[in-house]
Structure formats: structure tokens, C-alpha cells
Amino acid sequence: MAHRTGSQHIPHVSDVDVHQLKHAVRLSASRLLKGALAAGIGAALLWAHLSKYRRTQVVRAINDRPRDPVEYAFVVNPSKPGAQQIIDQILQFCKDQGIPRPLILKTRLDKDGTVCTREALERGAQVVVAVGGDGTVRTVAAGLANTGHALGVIPIGTANLFARNLGIPLNVSDALKVVISHGSTRVDMGRMTLMDARKARHREHWFLLISGIGFDAAMIQDTNPDLKKKMGWVAYIGGAIKHLFGRKESADISITDAHGTVHMYKNVNFRTFLIGNCGQIPLVTLMPDADYSDGLLDFELIDTDGGIIGWANLANDVVHQTIRGKSGQRLLSIGSTLHTMQGTHAELRFHHPALAEVDGDMLPHTEHVVIDCCHRALIVRVPRVEA
């Protein structure tokens, strides 16, 4: 009976018009594809419209702000493409606005942004403006930390993460309007101290964005600077591949949380230890809870096991928390560690020398690091749009 029943059922199914079914499937898929494409185009157009609207609102608000008639100094990274043309633009802008000719200082290999900033303050500048990428902004900010003098930013670098995170326009003319008008905010700064540095100038390093010890520093060190100028962040891929399966770091770690409680971790093995004052980098969010003004740094310990599978799982974890907007791994994540903790202070004692970096700038090898959050240490000229 069972056999006959099955034999009777097969012809029944074969009666379905296969061609019609295939046509229906293709039609449905086509409609879904067209719908997704239309939704994507609509979202892109909406994003472009909102971006244009926000920029219009920012520019309108800046134009309405009163000018600040103080002494300005511009610290310029002359290695950036078009730097001289931008200097000429700055001078013409100040002339058109009735601002006395500002002091222009150019960085050199033996005279970084911090040295230039101190010179500018000694010569009477009240607002010092960093003209360059995030590296120039970092060193100028270091010279202004806890001085009460404001930082202005003209972003002409590759990533311009600091400007993006604070909403500072990437257009030079608009950024200049922000610089010379009233409207500032205070932000936190991070400070990494290499306790075993042989030279005083290698001891204390301020940062604004994300710094780290281990894999990320090795990746940055092995990234071709010329390639980075041409390709931006994509250039880091080559440096990363070289160190995917390199030696792990090992350290004793202590972190002081927001309540003053010290958490101790002994003999910790990891790929990299990141410290974030902000968590946004191109395409992804490494530390979704990081905030410039909360008086805390985000400490993130990253590790992988199981070869390429571990790194693949880590990448998925980063994408997961980027989408969620909240720190944390996927429930079924295997072969990767992404542990985040907030605090005001951290100390790491390494079992062997480790590479470190601050905001993408390389530091000497170290075995003993102290990291502090300096709450509201920096005043920054920013656009303010009234609701």
C-alpha cells in the first residue's frame, strides 16, 4: 500500500508546470532585487540630502556667529599636498575678515607640532590652529593641554578622524570660519607614559583618538607611508597581514574603573591592547561606548586563536558591535576575544619589549606603560548648530 500510494503521489507533483514555477521565481527575485536597489538608491539619496542639509545648517550657524578678534597662529604640516596653497588661502581669508596677519609656523622633523605650539604661545597667540592630519592635530593639542588656549583644526590629512568625530567641516573655508568664531567645547585627552623611556622626550605622549600596544603598532610600523598617502586606510592591510600570526604580547595589567576600583589581571596573553578616547574609525566602530567628554578611556583587549578562523570571527565581532552600537561579542563567537572596560587609569608591565603607538604615531619599544585620562584638558573650536 505504501508503495502504491507513493507511486500515485509522484505523478501528482509532476503535474505542476515547472516552466511557470521557474518564471514565478525569476519574477519574484527580479522584483526583490529591484526593490532592494530602489531602497539602496533611496537611502543613498536621503543620506546625501541629509548631509547637504546638515552642512548647510552648520555653515549658516557659523556665518551667524560673532568673530573672535584674538591673535591666531597656524601650525602647518608642509608635507601635505597643497600645503602652500592652503597657507595662501588662510592668509587671504584672514585679510578678507579684517584679522591681523596670523603667525604661520611649519613643522619639521626636528620641530614637531608641540614645539611649534609652545613657540606660538610664547609669541602671544591665543588660539593655535593645526593644519594637517591627525598626527599634526595630536602634537598641537599636546602643546595646548591644560593651558586654557583653544585649538582650531583645518583638516587636510588622510583620515581626519578627530575633525570627523567633532563635526568640524572638512572644507577649508568652512573650517576657517569655525576657527575664527566663538564656539568651543572641552574634550578629554589620553596620556601614555613610557616609564622605561631612556630620553625625557620619549616618556610622555598625549593622544586624542585610539592608541595601542602590540599588533596594531606592528601593523602601522610595517605600512608603507607612500602607499598610505595614495590609498589611505586600505594601505594598512599589507602591514596587518604580515603580523596576523606573529608573537602574542604578555603582560600584567591593572585598570582603575570609574569608581576607583582597581582590577588586576596577571599573565595576560593578547594580540593587542587598545586605548580609546573615541571609537570610530573608517567603516567600523572599535569602541562604541567611547566618549570624548565622559572622563573615561575605553580599554579593549583583543586576542585570537585558531589561525585565520579566529581572525575571521574577530572581524565578525567588530561588525556585530558596529551594527549594534554597543560593545560586546556575538554569543557564539569562537576563537576570538574582544573585551572592553572603561576606566581612568591603566598600567601594563610586559614580559618582553612591546611596540606602542599613539594616534598612529610610533613610539619606542616599552616594557612598562602607564595610561591616564585627562578630563576636559583641551578646548577645541567646533561648529555649534542650534536645535
Q: What is the pLDDT of residues 18-72, one digit of tens each?
A: 455 445 545 444 554 444 345 445 444 554 455 455 555 555 556 666 666 789 9
Q: For 241, what's the count of Cα atoms within 13 Å in the CB-facing half-sphere?
A: 5
For residues 274 and 255, the answer to whether their CB atoms sit within 8 Å is no
Return the CATH number at 163: 3.40.50.10330
Quick one: pLDDT band at residue 202, thresholds 50, 70, 90?
A: confident
Q: Of 292, 1, 5, 311, which is closest to residue 164 (Cα–Cα)? A: 292
Q: Give yes or no: residues 272 and 360 share one domain.
A: yes
Do 221 and 282 share a domain, yes or no? Answer: yes
The amino acid at residue 182 is: H
Which cell numbers hold the place of 353? 619589549
pTM for the full predicted model: 0.81
The reply to whether 1 falls in a domain is no
Torsion sign across C-alpha atoms 163, 167, 170, 171:
negative
Say how far apart CA 206 and CA 184 lie, in whole Å: 20
Note whether 220 and 276 are same-domain residues.
yes
Q: 42 lies in which domain range?
A: 18-64
Domain-embedded: residue 9: no
Residues 124 and 238 both lie in one domain? no
What's the first-to-final CA gap in the chain, in angstroms?
A: 77
Q: What are the φ/ψ torsions at residue 131 (nearest 5 degrees)?
A: -115, 100
Instruction: Give yes or no for residue 149 having a pLDDT over 60.
Output: yes
Domain count of the chain? 3
Asked if residue 386 is part of any domain, the answer here is no
Do residues 176 and 103 both lie within one domain? yes
* Residue 321 and residue 221 in one domain: yes
- Find cell 600645503 and name the residue: 83
Are 195 and 92 in a shared domain? no
Which of 104-118, 122-136, 223-237 shows the lowest mean pLDDT across its residues?
A: 223-237
